[in-house]
Amino acid sequence: MHIPSSEGKTGGEVGILWRWVRLLALGALGWAGQEWLLQSPLLLAGGVGALLAWVALFWLERRSSQAEWLGALGLLYDMTLAGVGVWLLAHPQAWWLLFVPAIYAARQYAAWHALMGAFLAPLTVGVIASVAPERFADTATLWGWGAGLLGGHLALAWVAYRPATTPSPEVMEQVTRVLEQTESAHRELRHSYRELAHHYRRLQENLETLNDVVELFTALRQATTPTEAYRLILERLRSRFGASGAALYLADETGFHLRAALGVGSLARLQGTVRVDAPRKSARQAVEQQVRQALETLCERVPESGEDAHAIGAGANPRLLTLPLRTPQRLLGMLTLVARNPDGFDTATENRLHAFLPHLLALVQLYEQIEVMGLRLQEIQALHDLDNLLFTVATPTEIPRRALEVLKSVVPFEYAQLYLPDEEQLTLHASLPAFAEILPMLQFGQECGWQGWLQQKTHLLSITDTHESPHVPDPAALAPIRSLLLINLQSGARPAGVLALGHSQPHFFTEGQTEMVQVLVAHLGLVLERARLLIHLEQLAITDGLTGLHNYRYFQERYKEEVRLVKRYRHPLALMLIDLDNFKQINDRYGHLEGDYLLMQVAEVLQSTLRSTELIARYGGDEFVVLMPSTNLQGAQTAAGRLLQAVSGTRFSTTAGQPELSITLSIGIAAYPETTEDPQQLLELADSALEKAKRTGRNRAVALENTA
C-alpha cells in the first residue's frame, strides 16, 4: 500500500532549520557527555562518527530533494540522538524527545515515517532500559512510556495519512479559473513592466541624444560658414564623447573620393592633407590608415580594428571609431574619432554616437546643398565678371590676366597659364603667378608643347599626378605642380587657346570643379573672341586703310593728349609734317593705282626709319605727320635728315614689281619749347614750315625756331 506524504519534498526553510537544530543537538549532547567521551575511546569514536554522519546527511539532502529513503536515514539518525539525550538526562519526562523526530519526518517526507517511528521509539526504550537499567529502575514507567510512544506515533501516522477533504467540482473549477486569471494578470503585469522598462531606456537614450543635438544646434548658431560649423561639431563631439581627436572626411559628387575637410584635437593636422582615393567598400580602411599615419607622427599608436570592430557591443571596442555618413544614394563622408581612453569607446558611447549620426548626416546634407548653391552663385558671378571684362579693362590686352583672376575666385588653383594663338603658334599671354611655361614641358605622343597638344584633338586633359603621368617626361621640371588640368578654349569650331591649371597636391581637382572650369572656359573663349574682334575694330578705327599707319582722327586724339602732358610736365615735344614732292605727276603719269602703291611703300620707309615710340599717321592725301614725344628740335631735324636720305635714295617699285619710281619729301618741323611756348601751336607752325620748304625748292626739311 502507498502511503502518501504530508509535504512531498525536503529542502525549504523547515528542512534547512532542522539540519542546524540537529547539529545544535549533536553539539549539546557532546558537551553534556564530554566526561564519558574523554574517558572512553569507543564513545569518542562514536561521537566523531555521529558528526561525520551529520555531514553526510547534510550533503545528501542538498543533492536530492525527493528521496524518501533520506527521511528514513534522518529519522534513524534523529532517534539515535534522542535516545542518547534521554540516556544522558536520565529523567522520565525526557522520553518525549523520541516523539519529535517522527513529527518532522512525517511532515517533511511521508506518513509511513511515523509508522517507522512507532517501531523505533519502543525499540529505543527497550535498548536504553537494557543498557542502563540502573538509571531507569522503574519498570512500570518504562512500559508506560513505551506504550505511549507507540500510540502517539500510530496517531501521528493516522493524522498524516488522513486524506484531505476534496472540494466540489464547481469550487475546483472556480478556483482554477481564478488561478488562471491571476496567472494571466501576472504575465500581463510582467510584460507591461518589461515594456515600460524598455520604453524608459529608450526615453533615456532619446533624451541623451536630444541633449547632444540641442547643445550642438545651440553652438551652431555661432557659425557663419560650413567650415566653422564643422569645427564646432567636431569640438562638441570630442568633448561629449571622450575623444582625443575628431576628423570629418567629405566625399565628392561621385562618392569615390574623400578628402579631409577638417580635424580637431590630435587629428588637427589632417586639415589640408591629400585626398583619399578609394572605392566605397574600402573607404573606411583608407581613412583609418591615413588617421593612423597622422597619429604615429605624434608617437601615438592605435591598434588595428577587426572587421566587426564597429558593431555595437563588439567584444573589443577600438580606440579608432570610423562611422560612415551615407544616404541610400551615395556616401557623403566619414566621421572619425580617437578615444582618449586606451580601452576605447564603451558600448553606451557607441550607441549614443550611432543615435547622433542621422542628425549629423542631415547637417552635412544641408551644408552640402548650401555649398552647391554657393558654387552656382560663384559660377554665375564669374560668368558675369567675364562678360564685364570687355568694359572694365583699360585695354583688351589686360583681359587674359584679369580672366585668370576671375577663375581664381571660383576654382582654388595655385598655378594658371593662358595660351592664346599668335600667328601660327600658341604663346603665353598670362601667368598667375609668374612661372615657367607649362605647356612646353608636356609631351603628347611624339611631339612636345603646343604642337603635340593640337595633334591630340582633346578638349580636356586631367593629369591627377605629374609624377605618374606619361605626359610629363621630367616631373622635376614641373615641380611643385602635382595636379594639372589642360582645357581647350573654343571659339566656334576653331581652337582659341589653352588654359592650364595646376596645384601642388595630387588628385586635387574634383569632378565638380572640372565641370565648372569647363563651363567658365567655354565662356572665356567667347569673351576672348569678342575681345579679338574688338581689338580688330579698334585697329580699323584708328588705322589708315591704305598705308596701315594711324589715321588723322587717332593722330588728333594723341596730339591733344601729348599737349596736356607737355603742359603738365614740361617735357620736349616735336612734330613733323611730310609732303611727297610732285606726287600729282606720278598719279597723272602712272595712274592712281600706282600712286596708292607708292604711298604704301613710303609708309614702310617711314616706319623703318623712325623710332617705334614716334607716332606716324597719314595726315591726308600724300601728307604724313609724325608726333615725336620727348624730342627737341635738334632731334627732330636729325630724324628728318634720315627720312630725306632714305626716301630719295630708294627706287620704289610699280605694281608690276619694276623699280621705276623715285620721289622726294618736303618736311616742316616745329618743336616745344624751341619753336613756341604753346604746344597747341605746333601743328600750325609745322604747316608753315612745310610751306616754306616747298617754296624754297622741295626735298628739304625746314625747322621753325622761336624768334621772339
Q: What is the pLDDT of residues 679-700, one digit of tens each?
A: 999 999 999 999 999 999 999 9
Whether residue 589 has pLDDT greater than 50? yes
pLDDT at position 219: 62
C-alpha triplet 57, 60, 63: angle, nearest 5°: 150
Instruction: Assign 536 a pLDDT band (cuts: 50, 70, 90).
Output: confident
Report d(CA 320, CA 501) in Å as an integer: 37
Whether residue 392 has pLDDT greater than 70? yes
Which span out of 105-119, 277-291, 665-679 was modeled with the highest average pLDDT?
665-679
C-alpha triplet 422, 428, 433: angle, nearest 5°: 160
Whether residue 537 has pLDDT greater than 90? no
Short-list 309, 289, 311, 292, CA closest to 300: 292
* CA quadruple 487, 491, 497, 499: dihedral sign: negative
C-alpha 230 chain-centroid distance = 9
Could you say which DSSP state residue 469 is in? Answer: -
pLDDT at position 117: 67
Amino acid identity, position 681: Q
Report d(CA 668, CA 686) in Å as an integer: 5
Q: Which three cell numbers stand for residue 453?
A: 597638344
Q: At what angle do helices 511-542 and 399-408 cross, to 10 degrees?
A: 160
**3-class SS letters over 5-52:** CCCCCCCHHHHHHHHHHHHHHHHHHHHHCHHHHHHCHHHHHHHHHHHH
pLDDT at position 306: 46
Short-list 544, 545, 575, 579, CA closest to 558: 575
Mean pLDDT of 59-69: 66
> What are the boundaries of each domain within the chain?
12-161, 226-371, 393-536, 543-703
pLDDT at position 12: 61
pLDDT at position 602: 94
**622 assigned to active site:** yes
* Whether 288 contacts 305, CB under 8 Å: yes
Lowest pLDDT segment from 150-164, 229-243, 581-595: 150-164
* Whether 244 contacts 238, CB under 8 Å: yes
Whether residue 372 has pLDDT greater than 80? no
Mean pLDDT of 191-217: 73
More confidently predicted of 260 and 8: 260
Beta strands (DSSP E) in 388-475 are: 415-422, 425-432, 443-444, 447-448, 460-463
pLDDT at position 629: 94
Short-list 687, 680, 678, CA closest to 706: 678
Could you say which DSSP state residue 543 is in? Answer: B
Lowest pLDDT segment from 6-15, 235-244, 359-368: 6-15
* Whether 295 contacts 266, CB under 8 Å: yes
More confidently predicted of 322 and 77: 322
Beta-sheet strand order (sheet of 665-672): 615-620, 623-629, 573-580, 665-672, 700-703
* Whether 263 contacts 270, CB under 8 Å: yes
Active-site residue, from 212, 544, 579, 622: 622
Q: Which three cell numbers stand for residue 167?
A: 472540494
Number of Cβ within 10 Å of residue 136's Cβ equals: 21
**What percent of the chain clears pLDDT 70, i.e. is strictly above it?**
73
Report d(CA 106, CA 445) in Å as an integer: 110
Mean pLDDT of 311-331: 68
DSSP helix/strand/coil, 285: helix
**Fold classified for 393-536:** Beta-Lactamase (3.30.450)
Q: For the chain, what is the mean pLDDT?
A: 78
pLDDT at position 684: 93
- By CB neighbour count within 10 A (0-12 exposed, 13-18 middle, 19+ buried), where does 351 fall? middle
Instruction: Assign 5 a pLDDT band (cuts: 50, 70, 90).
Output: very low
Distances (CA, A) of 417 to 426, 436, 438, 483, 647: 12, 10, 8, 14, 45
543-703 classified as CATH 3.30.70.270: yes
Report d(CA 636, CA 628) in Å as an integer: 8
Beta bridge partners of 262: 248
Beta strands (DSSP E) in 599-689 are: 615-620, 623-629, 652-653, 659-661, 665-672
Beta strands (DSSP E) in 567-673 are: 573-580, 615-620, 623-629, 652-653, 659-661, 665-672
Could you report how far apart the first and last alpha carbons of the chain are, in Å? 169
Q: What is the pLDDT of residues 80-136, one digit of tens each?
A: 777 676 666 666 666 666 766 766 666 666 666 666 766 677 777 767 767 666 666
- By CB neighbour count within 10 A (0-12 exposed, 13-18 middle, 19+ buried), where does 535 fall? middle
pLDDT at position 462: 86
Q: What is the pLDDT of residues 144-154, one digit of tens each?
A: 666 766 666 66
Residue carrying C-alpha cell 577600438: 318
pLDDT at position 11: 46
Residue carrying C-alpha cell 547632444: 212
Amino acid identity, position 637: Q
Distances (CA, A) of 25 to 48, 70, 90, 108, 121: 14, 19, 17, 19, 18
226-371 classified as CATH 3.30.450.40: yes
* Whether 410 contacts 378, CB under 8 Å: yes
Are 226-371 and 393-536 equal in CATH topology?
yes
- H or E element in which residue 541 lies: helix 511-542
Phi-psi region of 247 (alpha: psi -120 to 50; beta: other; left: phi over 0): beta
* CA quadruple 563, 567, 571, 575: dihedral sign: positive
Whether residue 165 has pLDDT greater than 60? no
Q: What is the pLDDT of residues 454-472, one digit of tens each?
A: 777 678 888 888 888 888 8
Task: Kindly report each contact of residues 174-182 with a partner whose C-beta sits within 8 Å and lies 24 or more positions away, as own/partner.
Answer: none
Report d(CA 97, CA 82) in Å as an integer: 6
Q: How many CA atoms lie within 13 A of 534 on its CB side?
A: 15
**What percent of the chain clears pLDDT 90, i.e. is strictly above it?**
20
Report d(CA 185, CA 171) in Å as an integer: 21
Report d(CA 35, CA 354) in Å as an integer: 78
Beta bridge partners of 485: 462, 501
Q: How many CA atoms lie within 13 A of 45 on its CB side?
A: 3
Q: What is the pLDDT of residues 543-573, one digit of tens each?
A: 998 999 999 999 999 999 999 999 999 999 9
* Whether 422 contacts 435, CB under 8 Å: no
C-alpha 414 chain-centroid distance = 22
Nearest 5°: phi and psi at 244?
Answer: -85, -20
Whether residue 416 has pLDDT greater than 50? yes
* Whether 490 contacts 525, CB under 8 Å: yes
Q: What is the pLDDT of residues 496-527, one digit of tens each?
A: 788 889 998 888 887 778 888 888 888 888 88
The alpha helices in 221-330, defined as continuous H runs, are 226-240, 283-296
Whether residue 606 has pLDDT greater than 90? yes
Report d(CA 389, CA 125) in Å as an integer: 132
